[in-house]
Chains A and B, each alone.
Chain A
Amino acid sequence: MDISRPLADFLPSRGRGGLLLSLGLLTLALAVAAAGGVLTVVVARWVAPAAPVWLGILGGIATLIPTLRVIARRYDWILPWYYLLPALVFLLTFTLFPVVLTVILAFTDYAGIRNGQLNVASETNVVAVDPDRTTIEIADARVFDCDDLRAGCAGVRARVYGSGDVDVEAIAIDGARLELAEPPPDDRVVRGVDLFLPDVGLTFESAVARVEGSTLILERAPPFAPDLGDVVLRLERSVLEVDILSDEGTTVRLAEPLPDGFAAVSIARYNDFGYIGLRNFRTIFAQASRALGPVFVWNVAFATITVILNLAVGTLLAVLLNNPDLRFRGLYRTLLIIPWALPNIITIQVWRGFLNQNFGAINRLLMLLDVTPEPVNWLLGSEWPARGAVLLVNLWLGYPFMMVAVLGALSAIPRELYEAARIDGATAWRSFTDVTAPLLRTALVPITLTGFAFNFNNFNIIYLLTDGGPAVDWGTATARGTDILISWAYNEAFRSQGGYAYGLGSAISLLIFAITLAVSLVNFRVTGALKEVSNA
């Protein structure tokens, strides 16, 4: 860089255009690097098929550096922008990519068993091939199972298999050299061989390394003596990938004809997933009265009550601790911060123990004090005790933060104000409501908003304390007594429909985003938090 040149040479053109140009150039550099990485892997695989994938990263970096130099030569001013490059990479990988993926998946039926893999279980025999070689008859339409897909098998990829295995006899074996009575058919590739081992009563399989006339060189010698009369040659199955044009009962039409000489033996289809429009959203709204509705109401209540409770307790403790006449203030403050310092996962487990119906400390205490004649079924009874327990535990976890925040704000209030209030004859309560509270407000509004936003999606406490339970008669298996929106989405995505229903889970996530956005906007409007920003 030539430092004698004027500073302006090193700045992009001002305003939005300059910013976009810079970001565009950075993205371009990353795209070139990605292409370089992919190319490296492709070439490496071509040279040595077992080449590891991480070569791609090296290739990418190796491409990135010269690309950056070339760009810097053309645009001098871009150099400082290179500092943004790592941030841009992380932004793309960890924020933009998941967001885009979620939005796309929300409109598909992607799920555990609609995963785009070959459906091994759908393999069925080909009974007949029409002379046009595109129409085939399959043995069992139920096995092929086109009904399970969005629109039958039309447009779905299929795999057609030819040929199979043959039984042969061997005459001798010496280590890994197996001599057959006759050479294997020479137009077919021998993939492996099955040998029956009478000593252990099972069939041994081995891949075949080489064929020398009628002698097979096995990759692994059988550990026990095989039965030479009972040998199965596993011949390479010829495989053809083809799209399905349409299907009707046992008649399947392929998009392109089978090549001449290809003897189709069986066919299997892929698990297709794809665009289903708004069906996921319709599913969600169809059960809104059982899931979305009650879960949303409880979610708002949970976040609101948590923030109010935590703020109240935090403020009370902070005001008490702020009294300079209090002895051992430092000690109390330390003790009160401990719940915040301990890891949530441990604290919540301990609380689960406390809340146990028969052995927990809380029920014992309540019964000792004669508050309740029967032990309360906190976590597994009806939803109300469980919700109370969630709020209680969340108070324990959350008040120290509020307390520390209020303590900080309190120390900024001049003591003279209290003195003046006292001289004017104000009681302690008056000086709190008329001096402390108004001065705290400005400091507490942002904290309250963050607290609300955080608790609105507070997955930890629900998952670890109640796991969404107890079961309730007004809910569903995925939306139970204490489930909030985010835990409901988790249940739908990872615990229903054969393990994972990504499509539906993504749709719920989009909905949560919309709801959170709406709630936040209302919040900001009501509290005027955006006022200064919008004035600027």
Chain B
Amino acid sequence: MKRLLASLVVLGMVAGAAFAQGLTVWTTFNNPTLDYLQQDVADFASAFGVDVEVVKLDINELKQQMLLSAPQGQAGDVIVGIPHDQMSEMAVGGVLADLTGAATESYLSDLGEQSRLAFTYNGRLFGLPLFVEGPALLYNRDLVTSIPDSYEGFIELSQELTTSDTFGFLYDINNFYFSYGWLHTFGGYVFGRTDGTLDPTDVGLANEGAVRGGEELQALRFEHGIVPAGTNYDVANGLFIDGALAMFYTGPWAVGQAREAGIDVGVAPMPSLADGTPWSGFMGVQGVLVNEFSERGTDAVNLAKWLTRSDSQLGYAQLEGRVPASQSALAQVAEDPIVAGFGEALLTSEPMPNIPEMGQVWGPMANALGVITESADADVEAALEQAVREITGE
């Protein structure tokens, strides 16, 4: 249904874009960040005298729409807020402008190392980083005073807090973006590295560690009884907003809504394993990209730079605890407890691979997670091995 609506929106937009004179921004942001972006864009429009229209797209639609409609001249000129793992497919598909020349030394040197590398593919910069994000443990401070030091303690606390009125811990378990935390912390990985570059033929999602992680996911539901069947993102998010969920493994985008609903939100990294292995999930960098086929290329690049200046990044940090890519902006918000919580979790996180082959990982892994969490005696190893076969195409 969502896809259908998104397609209709895109269709309308395409019709609109054909006649529009100014720039069109495609964004995946939701409120409150969408409002903030609109304001920032309006400031640019009045300072530079360029009309800009902001259009909202579904995060799962944007890449495909770009690949399909950019060469026809019917896509947005500037793309705001797309995780870096989707960048290289668009770059290889030829729809992203090379921004290597557009980024100045001072801008680049202010960026964190990870942020810059995230949008660098084949030695070229295809996006200007905006902020860094990744899942961490959001908790309701009215229900939880402090997060235990160990994963085992965290499981116990979750069980204690699961009562007739509240849930202790929930998250979107069938989503690989989140569940990678379990697979990776226990020893799995997406792509191995040879000579420092990602090797798409070396997929570590069915190795010993990944299988242990998968079994732990199964145990969450069937042994510990804390992530019941039927849990998806909307259910968990809804319960957290209603104050009926104590701990929620999700990213910064959930903070704004929860705060608006009056929840006292705390953020902490997931606790380490008993042997001291720190928790490590995915880290994503969101940035601003420019359409290679934009008819107003220079204006589009100006807007991209405007939207990623450090003042602009501050706003996202203050709104939802998105960790700024700019080091000078980060220094100004480092004291903010939400930013600090996510920042701490990101220290041990693994950047999502930014090679085009990453696009083939999501579907098979979601399928494998579906199989694993469906019943207590599903064969974790077989499910993961099948997923890896589909990813590598063997």
- Tell me if A206 counts as interface (CB < 8 A to partner B): yes
Instruction: State A357–B235 Cα separation when bound (angstroms).
Output: 13
A37 to chain B, nearest CB (A): 18
Instruction: State A201–B306 Cα separation when bound (angstroms).
Output: 9
- Tell me if B63 counts as interface (CB < 8 A to partner A): yes
Binds A, one of B181-189, B243-251, B315-323, B377-385: B377-385
Instruction: State A219–B360 Cα separation when bound (angstroms).
Output: 43
Q: Assuming the A-B contacts A117-B71, A143-B123, A202-B306, are A473 and B379 also in contact, with contact meaning beta carbons closer than 8 angstroms in the complex? A: yes
Instruction: State A498–B104 Cα separation when bound (angstroms).
Output: 31
Q: Assuming the A-B contacts A117-B95, A203-B104, are A496 and B360 also in contact, with contact meaning beta carbons closer than 8 angstroms in the complex? A: yes
Q: Which residues of B contact A478 (CB under 8 A)?
A: 363
A256 to chain B, nearest CB (A): 23
Instruction: State A219–B378 Cα separation when bound (angstroms).
Output: 64
- Tell me if A115 counts as interface (CB < 8 A to partner B): yes
Encode A214-257 as 1/0 by CB contact (under 8 A) with B. 00000110011000000000100000000000000000000000
Q: Which residues of B contact A472 (CB under 8 A)?
A: 371
CB pair A357–B301 under 8 Å, yes or no, is no
Q: Which of B102-146 contact A (CB under 8 A)?
A: 102, 104, 106-107, 121-124, 126
- Tell me if B285 counts as interface (CB < 8 A to partner A): no
Q: Assuming the A-B contacts A471-B367, A471-B370, A477-B364, are A112 and B102 also in contact, with contact meaning beta carbons closer than 8 angstroms in the complex? A: no
Binds B, one of A7-15, A118-126, A428-436, A527-535: A118-126
Binds A, one of B32-40, B86-94, B331-339: B86-94
CB pair B309–A470 under 8 Å, yes or no, is no
CB pair B1–A498 under 8 Å, yes or no, is no
Q: Pick the residue among A113, A140, A202, A380 that contacts B229 (CB under 8 A).
A: A380
- Tell me if A93 counts as interface (CB < 8 A to partner B): no
Question: Number of A interface residues, CB 8 Å?
Answer: 58
CB pair A496–B363 under 8 Å, yes or no, is yes
Q: Pick the residue among A112, A113, A120, A201 that contacts B292 (CB under 8 A).
A: A120
B368 to chain A, nearest CB (A): 7
CB pair B374–A120 under 8 Å, yes or no, is no
A494 to chain B, nearest CB (A): 7
A153 to chain B, nearest CB (A): 15
B197 to chain A, nearest CB (A): 7
Q: Assuming the A-B contacts A200-B306, A200-B309, A477-B366, are A121 and B298 also in contact, with contact meaning beta carbons closer than 8 angstroms in the complex? A: no
CB pair B390–A203 under 8 Å, yes or no, is no
- Tell me if A44 counts as interface (CB < 8 A to partner B): no
- Tell me if A69 counts as interface (CB < 8 A to partner B): no
Q: Assuming the A-B contacts A115-B94, A496-B363, are A470 and B64 also in contact, with contact meaning beta carbons closer than 8 angstroms in the complex? A: no
CB pair A477–B387 under 8 Å, yes or no, is yes
Question: Number of B interface residues, CB 8 Å?
Answer: 62
Encode A471-515 as 1/0 by CB contact (under 8 A) with B. 111011110100000000000001111111000000000000000
Instruction: State A398–B310 Cα separation when bound (angstroms).
Output: 59
Q: Which residues of B contact A219 (CB under 8 A)?
A: 298
- Tell me if B386 counts as interface (CB < 8 A to partner A): yes
- Tell me if B68 counts as interface (CB < 8 A to partner A): yes
Instruction: State A106–B298 Cα separation when bound (angstroms).
Output: 40
- Tell me if B97 counts as interface (CB < 8 A to partner A): yes
Q: Assuming the A-B contacts A207-B298, A477-B363, are A469 and B375 also in contact, with contact meaning beta carbons closer than 8 angstroms in the complex? A: no
Q: Which of A96-134 contact B (CB under 8 A)?
A: 112-113, 115, 117-124
Encode B211-249 as 1/0 by CB contact (under 8 A) with A. 000000000000000000110000000000000000000
Q: Which residues of B contact A357 (CB under 8 A)?
A: 229-230
Instruction: State A356–B121 Cα separation when bound (angstroms).
Output: 44
B94 to chain A, nearest CB (A): 3
Q: Which residues of A contact B374 (CB under 8 A)?
A: 380-382, 470-471
Instruction: State A358–B235 Cα separation when bound (angstroms).
Output: 11
CB pair B94–A500 under 8 Å, yes or no, is no
A236 to chain B, nearest CB (A): 13
CB pair A117–B94 under 8 Å, yes or no, is yes
- Tell me if B98 counts as interface (CB < 8 A to partner A): yes
B88, B94, B299, B302: residue with the most chain A Cβ atoms closer than 10 Å: B94
CB pair B98–A123 under 8 Å, yes or no, is yes
Encode A445-484 as 1/0 by CB contact (under 8 A) with B. 0000000000000000000100001111101111010000
B102, B359, B370, B378: residue with the most chain A Cβ atoms closer than 10 Å: B370
CB pair A203–B102 under 8 Å, yes or no, is yes
A480 to chain B, nearest CB (A): 7
- Tell me if A205 counts as interface (CB < 8 A to partner B): yes
Q: What does DSSP make chain A's interface, helix, strand, loop or mixed?
A: loop
Instruction: State A380–B174 Cα separation when bound (angstroms).
Output: 11
CB pair B298–A192 under 8 Å, yes or no, is yes
Q: Pick the residue among A140, A223, A345 that contacts B49 (CB under 8 A).
A: A223
- Tell me if B96 counts as interface (CB < 8 A to partner A): yes
CB pair A497–B359 under 8 Å, yes or no, is yes
Q: Which residues of B contact A113 (CB under 8 A)?
A: 67, 89, 92-93, 356
B95 to chain A, nearest CB (A): 7
- Tell me if B101 counts as interface (CB < 8 A to partner A): yes
A198 to chain B, nearest CB (A): 10
Q: Which of B20-70 contact A (CB under 8 A)?
A: 47-49, 63-64, 67-68
CB pair A121–B121 under 8 Å, yes or no, is yes
Q: Pick the residue among A122, A473, A497 that contacts B386 (CB under 8 A).
A: A473
Q: Which residues of B contact A497 (CB under 8 A)?
A: 359-360
Instruction: State A200–B310 Cα separation when bound (angstroms).
Output: 10
Q: Which residues of B contact A165 (CB under 8 A)?
A: 101
CB pair A476–B298 under 8 Å, yes or no, is no
Q: Assuming the A-B contacts A196-B104, A500-B67, are A203 and B305 also in contact, with contact meaning beta carbons closer than 8 angstroms in the complex? A: yes
CB pair B302–A205 under 8 Å, yes or no, is yes
Instruction: State A470–B373 Cα separation when bound (angstroms).
Output: 11
Q: Which residues of B contact A124 (CB under 8 A)?
A: 122
Q: Which residues of B contact A315 (CB under 8 A)?
A: none
A126 to chain B, nearest CB (A): 14
Q: Assuming the A-B contacts A201-B106, A223-B49, A382-B374, are A120 and B71 also in contact, with contact meaning beta carbons closer than 8 angstroms in the complex? A: no
Q: Pick the residue among B93, B106, B369, B370 that contacts A469 (CB under 8 A).
A: B370
A290 to chain B, nearest CB (A): 8
Q: Pick the residue among B94, B107, B197 that contacts A271 (CB under 8 A).
A: B94
Q: Which residues of A contact B94 (CB under 8 A)?
A: 115, 117-120, 271
Q: Which residues of A contact B107 (CB under 8 A)?
A: 202-203
- Tell me if A377 counts as interface (CB < 8 A to partner B): yes
Q: Which residues of A contact B92 (CB under 8 A)?
A: 113, 119-122, 271
B383 to chain A, nearest CB (A): 6
Instruction: State A113–B95 Cα separation when bound (angstroms).
Output: 10
Q: Which residues of B contact A118 (CB under 8 A)?
A: 94
- Tell me if A422 counts as interface (CB < 8 A to partner B): no
Q: Which of A356-399 contact B (CB under 8 A)?
A: 356-358, 377, 380-382
Q: Pick the residue among A117, A206, A480 that contacts B93 (CB under 8 A).
A: A117
Q: Which residues of A contact B383 (CB under 8 A)?
A: 473
Instruction: State A335–B204 Cα separation when bound (angstroms).
Output: 57
CB pair A223–B47 under 8 Å, yes or no, is yes
- Tell me if A525 counts as interface (CB < 8 A to partner B): no
Q: Which residues of A contact B310 (CB under 8 A)?
A: 201
CB pair A476–B390 under 8 Å, yes or no, is yes
CB pair B292–A498 under 8 Å, yes or no, is no
Q: Which residue of A lies closest to B379 (CB)?
A: A473
Q: Which residue of A lies closest to B229 (CB)?
A: A377
Q: Assuming the A-B contacts A117-B71, A471-B370, are A223 and B48 also in contact, with contact meaning beta carbons closer than 8 angstroms in the complex? A: yes
22 A–B contacts, CB within 8 A, in A order: A115-B67, A117-B71, A120-B292, A121-B88, A121-B92, A121-B126, A122-B92, A140-B123, A143-B123, A165-B101, A220-B298, A223-B47, A271-B92, A357-B229, A381-B374, A471-B366, A471-B370, A476-B386, A476-B390, A477-B364, A496-B360, A496-B363
- With A358-B230, A377-B230, A498-B359 given, name 8 new contacts (CB 8 A): A113-B67, A113-B356, A117-B93, A120-B94, A192-B298, A220-B49, A499-B67, A499-B89
Closest 4 CB pairs of A and B: A471-B370, A117-B94, A499-B64, A477-B367
A residues with a Cβ closer than 8 A to B are 112-113, 115, 117-124, 140, 142-143, 165, 192, 196, 200-207, 219-220, 223-224, 234, 271, 345, 349, 356-358, 377, 380-382, 464, 469-473, 475-478, 480, 494-500
